[in-house]
Amino acid sequence: MTTYIIHRILMAIPTLIAISIVSFIIIQLPKGDYLDRRIQELEEQYGDSSSMEMAAELRQRYGLDKSMPQRYLSWITGFVQGNFGDSFRYEVEVNQLIWDRIGFTLLISIGSLFFTYIIAVPVGIYSATHQYKFSDNLLTLLSFVGMSIPAFLLALTLMVFAFELFGLPLFGLFSSYYEGAPWTVGKLGDLIQHLWIPVIVLGLNGTAGLMRIMRGNLLDVLGQPFIQTARAKGLKEWVVVVKHAVRLAINPLVSILGMSLPTILSGAAIVSIVLGLPTVGPLLLRSLLDEDIYLAGTLIMLLSSLLVIGNLLSDIALAWVDPRIRYE
Amino acid sequence: MSNSSGPLARTRSSDPDNNTDNTGLPFDSVVESDELGYLSYRQLIWKRLRKNQMGITAAIILLISYMIALGANFFAPYHYNQIQMRYRHVPPQKFRFSLRHGLHVYGLKSVRTPETRELVFTPDEIKIFPVRFLYRDNQNGLHLLSSDGPMFLLGTDRMGRDLLSRIIYGARVSMTVGLAGVFISLIFGSILGTISGYFGGWTDTLIQRAIEILLAFPSIPLWMALGAALPAEWSSVAIYFGITVILALVSWGGLARQVRGKVMAYRELDFVKAAEAAGASHWHVITRHLMPGSYSHIIVIATLAIPGMILGETALSFLGLGIRPPMTSWGVLLEEAQRVTVLLHYPWLILPAIPVLVVVMSFNFLGDALRDATDPYAD
């Protein structure tokens, strides 16, 4: 098991390096940079000659006068040491801007992952054990609807409904009273009150898909001879289903855990923009529009790293539940 | 699934009138009641597909939607950019019917609310405008339904443009982005997938690692970054193609993996070995023996990939990083509904979400039905 884990961690390193290169290239793609715009402003203010000097100074300060590979190298060495460079727009270190947001992103993502599995597994089991009954068909239809609704539309719709029906403003993660206040029990309660909407909105897509997979897996397993044997032994039906069938059918779901993370992180980005949540999404959009390259690059890199780590964890979890994998 | 019909069909007679199958024996000596034996692979798929009512309904809905999108200038009552500043944020109007006037709509009268000084429209029951079939206006030609007065069945936006017309025209962009995107990613995906699966070795490793890295990015943030990189001075048509390429770039990886799996399974089979032993070139083996076998599978994957792309375009345009006005798409329309304050005042602006859902769901159902129909173990 230990060698397996070490092997997997070593495998993740080249992936991370490649991701960092791709992230860096993508954020450099737009023509010009943030400073071009700043320089234009300066030119209008001071006329030509002095603005050129200031521009050169700014370029030097942000390292924009160097060549791209050099910039990449200094960026990535800083990155590894936890120094992500400066944000042009906010004129502070990227470090100060992101950690709260990463925290809330993780909170919401993990929350909806839990929601997804807690709902999807039992419903999938129910659906499989009641195959082609009315309730199964209804659930199938619902899951198709659930899979088709993009999270941000659901968020918009829920927001309108919540406002019309209950007068609840669902914007943000905190009421205005607690915004920026230090952490207290009251603030935590307020957070939980606001948290359920994004968690459900984000979890719904995944829940619908996962339910279908659980249903399909379980149906496959239930058709196998050892299930017949278990029934022939006279075991109670629920023992057959829960102890024999589900135990086996749930394995693929563990590996899907790693795959559902990208969907949830993706969804979280756009849902947060709609719901005004203080996560990575809105900051990323802002930084992309401003061509605030170090900020945008850091965010993309961190989101992708989260995915790599998530995949790593789900691989390890899979090895833990399925001995065949760790002995390979 | 075009000319040749896959390995499965080859084991059976491809000509239903020919009374022998490829064992060379007369049919009745093989299986008596096996009706399936007469059918080609394509016929088999069609037969199974027809039984799936959800799938067929979805296909019909999609067909109708594409026809409406194609004939947008006929089906839409107005041109999508026809600005009528008099009629800003008009709520959806209803068709009325009376024996005297036939099908008609009421005119609109506007009142300013005392509190917000905002124009609010209500039906003016004195003004009656008959709704005409095959209405001809001198600028845009023939319309299926229109009227001399204001006829905004789904309301108007902040510039007084008819929402229904904009949804119909928007379908052109939203519904073709998915098709074009899938087409591009199919080309990438099947070429690289086939190469990867057929040649194996370091080519395979290289391609697979590249795909792994691609899949390691969360798709929406990656789309956002690429969308933001499209130059501001591009025309809206160029942006449209740019978006298509972006959507395809991010999604070909999954497709390539599936094709690779199929190709790897096939290349171990006897008929491929036989072709190689007979001296067939790589090209011949790939195009004549491997690709036909994967066609049905590829079509299923492609169908199931379209909704993701449609949603991708919607999401990007919704964020203002996708299609840019004056071109319109469902995402562009939804962008106006982005702010809750707007939505609370003018709730009809969220209506473009409905066609998104219907089309995405139809593709999901159709893809699922196709998957069931092409499953060789189904019967």
**Cβ atoms A98, A299 nearer than 8 A:** yes
Sign, CA torsion A282/A283/A287/A290:
positive
Say if residue A269 is exposed, middle or buried (CB neighbours under 10 Å; 0-12, 13-18, 19+).
Answer: buried
Cis peptide before B16, with omega less than 30 degrees from 0? no
What type of residue sits at position A262? P
- B residues 256..315 contacting A (CB < 8 A): 307, 311, 314-315
3-state SS class at A86 = strand
Chain A neighbors of B347, CB-CB under 8 A: 160
CB atoms within 10 A of CB A262: 23
Strand partners, B119: B112
CA distance readout (Å), B109 to B86, B119, B123, B164, B283: 11, 10, 6, 21, 70
Q: Which residue of B has its CA nearest to A302?
A: B217
Measured CA to CA, the distance from residue A311 to residue A313 in angstroms comes to: 5
**Furthest-apart CA atoms within chain A: distance in Å:** 92
- pLDDT of A168 reads 63
- The average pLDDT across A127-138 equals 88
- The average pLDDT across B187-192 equals 88
Q: Which CATH number fits domain A97-321: 3.30.70.100, 1.20.1250.20, 3.60.10.10, 1.10.3720.10?
A: 1.10.3720.10
- The average pLDDT across A219-241 equals 90
Strands B96-98 and B141-147, sheet pairing: unpaired
Interval B115-130: pLDDT, tens: 766 777 777 777 777 7
Mean pLDDT of chain B: 79
- B residues 227..246 contacting A (CB < 8 A): 228-229, 231
Say if residue B230 is exposed, middle or buried (CB neighbours under 10 Å; 0-12, 13-18, 19+).
Answer: buried
- pLDDT of B377 reads 63
CA distance readout (Å), A311 to A315, A316, B34: 6, 9, 48
Measured CA to CA, the distance from residue B177 to residue B312 in angstroms comes to: 9
Are the Cβ atoms of B364 and A266 closer than 8 angstroms?
A: no
Closest by CA to B243, choosing from B332, B339, B166, B335, is B332
CB atoms within 10 A of CB A108: 27
More confident residue, B143 or A118: A118
Where residue A142 falls among pLDDT bands split at 50, 70, 90?
confident
Cα–Cα–Cα angle for B250, A143, A162, nearest 5°? Answer: 95
Mean pLDDT of chain A: 81
- A residues 133..152 contacting B (CB < 8 A): 144-145, 147-150, 152
Measured CA to CA, the distance from residue B267 to residue B263 in angstroms comes to: 6
- pLDDT of A150 reads 81
Where residue B140 falls among pLDDT bands split at 50, 70, 90?
low
Preferred mutation among A106, A143, A153, A154 to probe B, highest tally of B CBs within 10 A: A153
Cβ neighbours of residue A38 under 8 Å, at least 6 residues apart? A55, A58, A88
Chain B neighbors of A171, CB-CB under 8 A: 340
Tokens of B252: 């070909």
Q: Where are the beta strands (DSSP E) in chain B?
A: 96-98, 102-112, 119-137, 141-147
Closest by CA to A162, choosing from A197, A199, A195, is A197
Interval A80-110: pLDDT, tens: 887 777 777 777 777 777 888 888 888 888 8
CA distance readout (Å), B312 to A37, A158, A202, A270, B214: 30, 21, 16, 11, 16
Measured CA to CA, the distance from residue A108 to residue A306 in angstroms comes to: 14
Q: Which of A99-103, A162-166, A213-217, B25-29 has the lowest mean pLDDT?
A: B25-29
Per DSSP, A181 falls in state: P
The region, left, alpha or beta by phi > 0 then psi within -120 to 50, assigned to residue B118 is beta
- A residues 282..301 contacting B (CB < 8 A): 284-285, 288-289, 291, 296, 299-300
Where residue B10 falls among pLDDT bands split at 50, 70, 90?
very low
CB atoms within 10 A of CB A321: 14
- pLDDT of B359 reads 92
Q: Which residue of A has its CA nearest to B220?
A: A266
Task: Tell me whether A262 touches chain B (CB under 8 Å).
Answer: yes
More confident residue, B257 or A45: B257
Residue A122 has pLDDT above 90, yes or no: yes
**Cβ atoms A117, A124 nearer than 8 A:** no
Task: Tell me whether A26 touches chain B (CB under 8 Å).
Answer: yes
The proportion of chain B whose per-residue pLDDT surpasses 90, expressed as a percent, equals 6
Interval A149-160: pLDDT, tens: 888 888 888 877
- pLDDT of A176 reads 64
Measured CA to CA, the distance from residue B283 to residue B280 in angstroms comes to: 8
Residue A49 has pLDDT above 70, yes or no: no
Chain A neighbors of B314, CB-CB under 8 A: 150
More confident residue, A170 or A236: A236
3-state SS class at B4 = coil
Q: What does the DSSP assignment read for A270-306?
A: HHHHHHT-SSHHHHHHHHHHHT-HHHHHHHHHHHHHH
Measured CA to CA, the distance from residue A32 to residue A291 in angstroms comes to: 9
3-state SS class at B65 = helix
**Cβ atoms B358, A149 nearer than 8 A:** no
CA distance readout (Å), A119 to A49, A252, A271, B355: 65, 17, 21, 28
Residue A296 has pLDDT above 70, yes or no: yes
Task: Tell me whether A188 touches chain B (CB under 8 Å).
Answer: no
Where residue B20 falls among pLDDT bands split at 50, 70, 90?
very low
Closest by CA to B168, choosing from B80, B64, B243, is B80
Chain A neighbors of B225, CB-CB under 8 A: 26-27, 29, 288, 296, 300
Residue B21 has pLDDT above 70, yes or no: no
Interval A173-212: pLDDT, tens: 676 666 666 777 777 777 777 788 888 888 888 888 889 8
Q: Where are the domains of chain A?
A: 13-80, 97-321
Are the Cβ atoms of B364 and A144 closer than 8 angstroms?
A: yes
CB atoms within 10 A of CB A277: 25
Strand partners, B103: B97
Interval A274-295: pLDDT, tens: 888 888 888 888 888 887 777 8
Q: Provide the shortest C-alpha distance from residue A236 to chain B (in Å).
A: 31
Q: Any idea which residue has 């009138």 for tokens? A: B17
